[in-house]
Amino acid sequence: MRNRFSKAVCVLALVFLAACAPAVPSSSVPVPASSAPQPEETDPQPAAQTAGPLRFYDLKDGSANEDGYYQILTNPAGTSVLTCTDFASGQRRILCGRSGCVHTDETCPAFVCTSAGQPRLVAQQNRVVLVHPRLPALGRTPPTPARVEVRATDGTGSRTVVTFEPDEAPGLYCAADHDNLYTLIDTLSDGGSVRDRRLARVHLDDGTVETLARLSHPRDNVMIQGVFENRVVMKRIFEGGLSRQVPTEEWDAKINSQIHSLFFIDDQGQEHTLVHWRQYQAAGFVYGDACYLFYENGDLHKADFSTGRDTVLASFGSQWGKNFVDCPAKIGDMLVIEMRPRDSLPGQTTVSRFAVDTVQGGATPLPQQILWEGWRQPVPILYADDRWVLAVWGTRPAAAGEFGQWNGQCPVWGVLDAEDFLAGNRFA
């Protein structure tokens, strides 16, 4: 078995992905295309050519390029620093080259400002991008604008390339190519509601912000979900507005009536729907050129964006409700899916994990588990691609002042070759 040794400390609280499974209720067939709400025409904006292939970045706590996994770690005193785990060696390091530095304040080259909240992290091959969120106005203190910071991959050369307007808030999900960052930017009213939402490209060399398209339903819940044919794929949830306080039965009815629609916007500003489903039917997960839909009857479907085909990859049975499913990673052609029984509670039952072949179909159990608060759970995956799997394999007592600890414990993480992980092997 080929291991890449690393018993470094992980930044994350060891919160299991299964406990964060999407809260989407149930059942069988996709919505006919004619029944989906039709978006209004958008104000077209010409889109320039992208610099190389686009890549999607999700909400996990770190980000990777070909060489390593970048993460922001925080110590008990609240100081945050930028770190990198090298895939080849498995060693994690704080990205500070200053001799004798103890990494406890903003004089450390690896220091990351988190006063407005945790920045979004995007690791590219030639740089690391940090998207600092907007801090709303507090009393008479005006809002702190969101900004985009870039650093070299060794952590040096920090500079802010763009500061947004005080009423602008970039989204949490994003995509990027070699030279640009793609994000949804909300323009907020004085009361904080969204009055405009646009897809924008931020040129990371000079900080120019280019509007690619304005969304036709700015108040709907829209988020970037992935990349298909070098275009940003977004998900819109129709019939939103769940912030109102309503009786439980009305709340459930409103949720169940929602339609999830995956779409992209072409160079003329027109929206093109790729696939859609009703909230009560399925839980959806986007990886690459497909959406994987887990239905209430326990069937896992692949909706291929390129061919339009809908294929059943595996049938797990109705004992697995779709509210209790998560897909934390895709390793090459294998989709990792986690499930807990329908009548179980998060964190209080054993979670089952399978690798599903997205080309040939079929599911294989993945046995690697960790004991957490008396329950055996799948080892949490921090990052995976077709070469590496970075996962948490245990815990140990934290040293005083150590970065990445949680309740006095530091997770022990390790890098394993993808083929070894899929074969059911453990990190040694």
pLDDT of residue 95: 96
CB 151 within 8 A of CB 163: no
Task: Tell whether the model's pLDDT for residue 406 goes beyond 70.
Answer: yes
- Helix boundaries (H) for 340-380: none
pLDDT of residue 256: 62
pLDDT 10s digits, 282-315: 889 999 899 999 998 899 999 999 999 999 999 9
pLDDT of residue 144: 92
252 SS3 class: helix
Share of the chain above pLDDT 70, in %: 81
pLDDT of residue 13: 36
pLDDT of residue 248: 57
CA distances from 335 to 26, 314, 315, 385, 389 (A): 21, 11, 14, 11, 13
- Residue range 168-190: mean pLDDT, rounded: 92
CB 284 within 8 A of CB 23: no
- Residue range 10-31: mean pLDDT, rounded: 34
CB 303 within 8 A of CB 283: no
To 5 degrees, how large is the angle CA 27–CA 29–CA 34? 125
pLDDT higher for 63 or 341? 63
115-124, 222-231, 240-249: segment of lowest average pLDDT: 240-249
pLDDT higher for 15 or 219? 219
Q: Chain-wide mean pLDDT for the chain?
A: 82
| Token pair in block for residue 53 | 């292939």
- Residue range 1-17: mean pLDDT, rounded: 38
DSSP code, position 424: T
pLDDT higher for 50 or 11? 50
pLDDT of residue 18: 33
> How sure is the predictor about 239, in pLDDT bands with cuts at 50, 70 and 90?
low
For residue 251, what are the contacts with CB-CB under 8 A and spacing of at least 6?
A: 242
pLDDT of residue 57: 85
CB 354 within 8 A of CB 325: no
How many Å apart are CA 11 and CA 47, to the nearest integer?
38
Nearest Cα to 92, choosing from 119, 71, 78, 61?
71
Q: Can you say how many angstroms the Cα of residue 199 is from the centroid of all Cα atoms in its chain?
A: 18
How many Å apart are CA 22 and CA 260, to the nearest integer?
13
How many Å apart are CA 213 and CA 231, to the nearest integer?
12
206 SS3 class: coil
Q: Which helix (H) or strand (E) holds 249?
A: helix 248-257
How many Å apart are CA 312 and CA 321, to the nearest integer?
17
pLDDT of residue 212: 93
How many Å apart are CA 421 and CA 368, to the nearest integer?
8
> How sure is the predictor about 22, in pLDDT bands with cuts at 50, 70 and 90?
very low
Nearest Cα to 389, choosing from 376, 402, 397, 378?
378
CB 69 within 8 A of CB 414: no
Query: pTM for the whole thing?
Result: 0.81
pLDDT 10s digits, 54-72: 888 876 778 999 999 999 9
